[in-house]
Amino acid sequence: MEVLGFMSIAEDPRRKVKGRRPPQGTPCGYCFNAWATVYDHLWPYSAGGDASDENLYPACKRCNLILNNRCFDTIDAKREYLRQVLLEKGEW
């Protein structure tokens, strides 16, 4: 169904990503210690990151929550930040 003048809900890139999940059995790309259940945005949506495959990275819920909307220059910097947080919590 066409909704003239508006982007239909199905075309909303945000919704598309929300509905997408990593395939079952995909490890978290950050801690490698849990199954990925969501896609993390390498460049956060709130900072202009899009929903392209290149910007999505499989993550477990915990890592995704910790990383939240923080911006990092590289994936290694992201991983290192996460490692520090988990080390402090005694979960690494």
Q: Which residues bind Zn ion (CB under 5 A)?
A: 28, 30-31, 34, 60, 63
| 10/75 with CB nearer Zn ion | 75
**Helix-, strand-, coil-residue percentages of the chain, each rounded to 5:** 40, 10, 50
Q: Is residue 45 classed exposed, middle or buried when 0-12, 13-18 and 19+ CB atoms within 10 A define those classes?
A: middle
Residue 84 is given by DSSP the state: H
* Minimum CB–partner distance for residue 24 and Zn ion (Å): 16
* Minimum CB–partner distance for residue 30 and Zn ion (Å): 5
| 17/63 with CB nearer Zn ion | 63
| 17/67 with CB nearer Zn ion | 67
| 56/63 with CB nearer Zn ion | 63
The Cα 4–Cα 8 span in angstroms is: 8
* Minimum CB–partner distance for residue 16 and Zn ion (Å): 23
Closest among 90, 36, 81, 24 to 62, alpha carbons compared: 36
* Minimum CB–partner distance for residue 25 and Zn ion (Å): 14
